[in-house]
Chain A
Amino acid sequence: MAKRSFKNSALPTILTYLGLAIGLVFSTFPIVWMFFSSLKSNTEIFALPPRLLPKDFTLAAYLTIFNDPVKVRFFINSYFVAGVVTCLTLVIAILTAYGFSRYSFRFKNTLNIFIISTQTVPPITLLIPYFGMVVAFRIFDTYLALILTYMVFTLPYAVLLMTGYLNTLPKELDEAVLVDGGSSWTALWRVIVPVSIPGIVATAVYTFLLAWNEFLFALTLTKSMNLRTVPIGIQLLMGQHAFEWNEMMAMSVLGSLPLLVLYLVAQRYFLAGMTAGSVKS
């Protein structure tokens, strides 16, 4: 009898925990390994037998990066470009989402399909005409080229996420303002935006993530070192000193840090926003 109830209750629980433990190793081991490698000396990284924790803990790799103005510049560029893209995308996406969720108008369905299908246009297809256009308009190797082109793939997600979120808000909220004689513009900024903070945070985090991680356009539309972003910086570092693993790991840790911090701070909003936007839209 006792054995039977053990089988019924304890075994599935043990198996579940075992599965979760395997999952935890699978998902985080590479990240943990990266982090501790950044604290090792270069000779220790491939030491045998491999050790997770550094024997001689050192911040040398981080200090090298902080003392190199070129590398610091990669971070400034990434923060600047991703920050500007996020702000612009948010404003435009909020306007569009409000239009979509509160009005019905001609071409609404067409426009909706257009925005959904822009999600799936291959970046490599756009890259070639962008290169031609950016050169023709003389904005090759400028922040403007990056900011403009990034928006083409941050906007669709931001619009879909925000529309998904605004659709969950009752229409009575902003209709109250309209009934009182206020304009829809007032209703949007005074009523809708303040109650949409969770959705806006989720959208902002996702937009920042996309912009921070962008590689292909940054690689092709900029050339000078003082415009390079973190992903390109890491790539260049990899080409130049292929054996400075600890420094590359330190760059990777620093390059992931803003996303990790944003995600951990906003994960409650982020997960809710993602599912509201992606699953229901």
Chain B
Amino acid sequence: MNHSAPALVAAQVKARRKGRLRYSTLRKLVPYFYVSPATLLLVLLMLFPMVMVFKYSLMDGAIMKKDAAFAGVQNYLTIFENPVFWQSVAQTMYFTIMSVVFHFIIGLAFALLLNTNRVDPLIRSVLRVLFILPWLFTAVIIAIIWRLLLDPNGVVNSVLMALHIINFKVEWFSSTRTAIHALTFANIWAGYPLYMVSLLAGLQGISKELYEAAGIDGANELEKFWYITIPQLMPIIISIALLDFIWTMQVFPLVWMTTGGGPIYSTEVLSTFTYKLAFSQYEFSLASASAMIILIISMSVTYFYIKHQQRR
């Protein structure tokens, strides 16, 4: 039975035969045995690199110079003096907040539509599968699809012109006026399904009795939605929105593959700004400082996320 078991667990069984004391000490180690591979890997690939990036951010010429000197907070000051950095902050926030809001609205609308029993159950289950599809596509492919659709000669312009909504071919991704909106739209399309899946599960978990009780009290559909559905979904909404905020703030491939931050920095976000510092300009110390700023923002939102998760 134990021929394949690792030494610790085998010893646990042996010790059981030998004596109680040794067995109980070993028994205490068993949970650590199970969680140690993941812990070790995450410490090596997460905590250690974070210490490294912090160290880099305080140095002058990290990675590039063998004897990089300590520079204090100079890199951070240089970043703060860069107007493109502040433009990236503003654009990242616009992109993130719009995405989170519309992900939520679309996700909730789809979840509600899929949750009613007015619709044939078969249609409902097929649509449930289809509505999630955008989520499965990799950012590079999402970028390519939207570059095709939003090409000046693409189908979106053709349809909009046929409907007389626009009267010239809009260069969605290459005009400074539209690029950030086109980018945000593509991201909204790609990201609502996470909300939809979670909210649908949440909707199905709300007790029918709550609605019945409200119905007896004379509440109409809108009141039921506002006073039962929304409060019941609130814990899920907050969790998913906080996670989405953090993830969207870090977005890289979609921006890189549609606009690359251009035209003229009009779609530059914090991640592309940082990436260019590191891998186009080889300013690893400045990039580390910028990466630390992203980390600090992410971790402060994560703090609320964890507090919220633990309260649930």
Residues of A within 8 A of B (CB): 12-13, 16-17, 19-20, 23-24, 26-28, 30-31, 33-34, 37, 45-46, 48-50, 92-93, 95-96, 98-100, 102-105, 108, 111, 113-133, 135, 148-149, 151-152, 155-156, 159, 181-186, 209, 212-213, 215-216, 220, 230-231, 234-235, 238, 245, 248-249, 252, 255-256, 259-260, 263-264, 267, 271, 274-275, 278-279, 281
> Is B298 an interface residue when CB atoms closer than 8 A count as contact?
yes
Knowing A46-B153, A96-B34, A184-B30, the reply to whether A252 touches B45 (Cβ < 8 A) is no
Chain A residues near B118 (CB-CB < 8 A)? 12-13, 16
Chain A residues near B127 (CB-CB < 8 A)? 20, 23-24
Report which of B35, B119, B134, B275 forms a contact with A27, defined as CB distance below 8 A. B134
State the 5 A-B residue pairs at the shortest beta-carbon distance, nearest first: A99-B34, A103-B31, A275-B201, A129-B49, A213-B138
Chain A residues near B41 (CB-CB < 8 A)? 92, 151-152, 155
CB distance from B114 to the nearest CB of A (A): 8
| A259 engages B136 (CB within 8 Å) | yes
Report which of B37, B137, B140 forms a contact with A235, defined as CB distance below 8 A. B140
Alpha-carbon distance between A123 and B146 when the two chains are bound, in angstroms = 24
Main secondary structure of the interface of B (DSSP, over half): helix
| A267 engages B129 (CB within 8 Å) | yes
CB distance from A30 to the nearest CB of B (A): 5
Chain A residues near B94 (CB-CB < 8 A)? none
Q: Which chain B residues (263-312) contact chain A, with CB distance < 8 Å?
A: 270-271, 274-275, 278-279, 284, 287-288, 291-292, 294-295, 298-299, 301-302, 305-306, 309
| B50 engages A149 (CB within 8 Å) | no
Report which of A37, A149, A159, A263 forms a contact with B148, defined as CB distance below 8 A. A37
Chain B residues near A96 (CB-CB < 8 A)? 34-35, 37-39
| A17 engages B136 (CB within 8 Å) | no
Knowing A34-B145, A185-B6, the reply to whether A122 touches B42 (Cβ < 8 A) is no
| B30 engages A103 (CB within 8 Å) | yes
Q: Which chain B residues (1-36) contact chain A, with CB distance < 8 Å?
A: 1-2, 5-6, 9-10, 12-13, 16, 28, 30-35
Alpha-carbon distance between A248 and B309 when the two chains are bound, in angstroms = 42
| A209 engages B136 (CB within 8 Å) | yes
Q: Which chain B residues (79-117) contact chain A, with CB distance < 8 Å?
A: 106, 109-110, 113-114, 116
Q: How many A-B residue pairs have CB under 8 A?
A: 279
| B52 engages A132 (CB within 8 Å) | yes
User: Could you list 24 examples of A-B contacts with CB < 8 Å?
Assistant: A16-B118, A27-B189, A33-B155, A50-B154, A96-B35, A96-B39, A105-B32, A105-B35, A113-B306, A116-B309, A122-B291, A128-B53, A131-B63, A131-B278, A132-B63, A152-B45, A185-B9, A213-B139, A230-B138, A256-B137, A267-B129, A274-B197, A274-B198, A279-B198
| A16 engages B291 (CB within 8 Å) | no
> Is B71 an interface residue when CB atoms closer than 8 A count as contact?
no
Report which of A49, A182, A238, A279 forms a contact with B162, defined as CB distance below 8 A. A49
| B155 engages A252 (CB within 8 Å) | no
Given contacts A27-B130, A31-B134, A128-B287, 9 further A-B pairs with CB under 8 A are A27-B134, A95-B38, A103-B31, A117-B306, A119-B243, A120-B305, A183-B1, A216-B253, A259-B138
| B131 engages A129 (CB within 8 Å) | no
Please give me the residue from chain B that is nearest to A20 by CB atom.
B113
Alpha-carbon distance between A230 and B139 when the two chains are bound, in angstroms = 12
Alpha-carbon distance between A262 and B114 when the two chains are bound, in angstroms = 23
Chain A residues near B288 (CB-CB < 8 A)? 128
| A255 engages B141 (CB within 8 Å) | yes
Chain B residues near A108 (CB-CB < 8 A)? 31
| B162 engages A275 (CB within 8 Å) | no
Alpha-carbon distance between A122 and B96 when the two chains are bound, in angstroms = 14
Chain A residues near B34 (CB-CB < 8 A)? 95-96, 98-99, 103
Knowing A37-B148, A275-B201, the reply to whether A238 touches B257 (Cβ < 8 A) is yes
Chain A residues near B270 (CB-CB < 8 A)? 124
Alpha-carbon distance between A281 and B240 when the two chains are bound, in angstroms = 12
| A215 engages B253 (CB within 8 Å) | yes
CB distance from A267 to the nearest CB of B (A): 6
> Is B214 an interface residue when CB atoms closer than 8 A count as contact?
no
| B38 engages A159 (CB within 8 Å) | yes
| A279 engages B201 (CB within 8 Å) | yes
